[in-house]
Amino acid sequence: MADAVQTPQASFKPRIFSGIQPSGGLTLGNYLGALKRFVEKQDEGIETIYCLVDMHAITVWQEPERLRQQTREGAAAFIAAGIDPKRSILFNQSQVSAHAELGWIFNCIARMGWMSRMTQFKDKAGKNSENVSLGLFAYPSLMAADILTYHATMVPVGEDQKQHLELCRDIAIKFNNDYGVNFFPVVEPLIEGAATRVMSLRDGTKKMSKSDPSDQSRINLTDDADAIAQKIRKAKTDPEALPSEEKGLEGRPEAENLVGIYAGLSGTSKDAVLKQFGGGQFSGFKAALVDLAVEKLAPIADEMRRLLADPSHIDAILGEGAARADAIAAPIMREVKDIVGFVRSR
């Protein structure tokens, strides 16, 4: 793969893009790894574009009515968490045709070998790689199109998306080289904070995921205070007391995860959390974590319920966001078509 290049390139103005799949309800992992940081970036005053990537979601089977519901639920979660649809652009991917168009062009730039090395594809396909959709294989190429059709320069994501963003850089570099242009920015991944990889509450070596069969493994953004408290109290731990320094968490994935969640929710570091709770038993720490999680998450669930009572309002927000997104993407797509050599006569 191509070597790293200095980013962002001087000629591109700072712009943030990120996406979340509406393939299930959002989890605490999505919140700490992505949503909470999306809000921070918006509040820093950077131009921010956030997308519910429904076209990525259908790379594995989605029941149409559930997909619609989950897309609205995802939008409600963004807004409830603090995304202001006036300051940020919030929309669903399939309403802006540039994603699919550029995705195809990038399918002709990316190489089979690059895609075959993607660990997320290998994990999702498992032993079944002959029988998964072609879309699942091409997934990272569509993701590159999502970002680059806006000339976005920075992409906040959780740790698991790092390899996909490296591929996005490789696609931009290859496109620029093949056509002899400096057209696409080489994006910068923003993987920051104490909780870039939130793990399952039942197994500290597995990522917390909306697709895990066990609901006890995750906190859903729709969980009420009782459910949050019950899941944290039952979360797997080990018999040792909490260490007072971060290096004492080595080899203790469940302890590390809970400390990371506390740090993520309170906006501090794991070290700061251990200074406060180090030496104490898990029961006391868990009680504090329950209070913190309920304080931060329960209002989001309440606001989501309120928003979801009026789906047409959510649809109107997504439509308006899509129109604003399209106004940025369409002129960039026209230039792409000229660069590639497509005749454009209307």
Tally DSSP H helices, then E strands, for the chain. Answer: 14, 5
3-state DSSP of 28-56: HHHHHHHHHHHHHHHHCCCEEEEEECHHH
Q: How far apart are the C-alpha atoms of 118 and 14, rounded to whole Å?
A: 28
* 207 labelled catalytic: yes
If you count them, how many residues does the chain have? 346
- What are the Cα distances from residue 222, in Å, to 41, 45, 308? 23, 28, 11
Shortest distance in whole angstroms from residue 44 CB to ligand TRP: 18
Shortest distance in whole angstroms from residue 30 CB to ligand TRP: 8
Return the SS3 of 211: coil
Report if residue 18 touches ligand TRP, rule: CB under 6 A: yes
Residue 30 binds: one of ligand AMP, ligand TRP, none (C-beta under 5 to 8 A by kind): ligand AMP
Binding residue (CB under 6 A) for ligand AMP from 17, 21, 103, 219 = 21
* 210 labelled catalytic: yes
Shortest distance in whole angstroms from residue 131 CB to ligand TRP: 21
55 in Cβ contact with 142 (< 8 Å): yes
Report if residue 40 touches ligand AMP, rule: CB under 6 A: no
Tokens of 257: 């995860």
Range 247-306, binding ligand TRP (CB under 6 A) = none
Residue 155 binds: one of ligand AMP, ligand TRP, none (C-beta under 5 to 8 A by kind): ligand TRP
* 270 labelled catalytic: no
Q: How far apart are the C-alpha atoms of 267 and 247, rounded to whole Å?
A: 20
Helix or strand holding residue 336 (H, E): helix 311-340
Report if residue 155 touches ligand TRP, rule: CB under 6 A: yes
Residue 33 binds: one of ligand TRP, ligand AMP, none (C-beta under 5 to 8 A by kind): ligand AMP
Choose between 243 and 264: whose C-beta lies nearer to ligand TRP: 264
**Residues noted as catalytic:** 124, 207, 210
Residues of this chain that bind ligand AMP (CB under 6 A): 20-21, 29-30, 32-34, 157-158, 160-161, 196-198, 207-208, 210
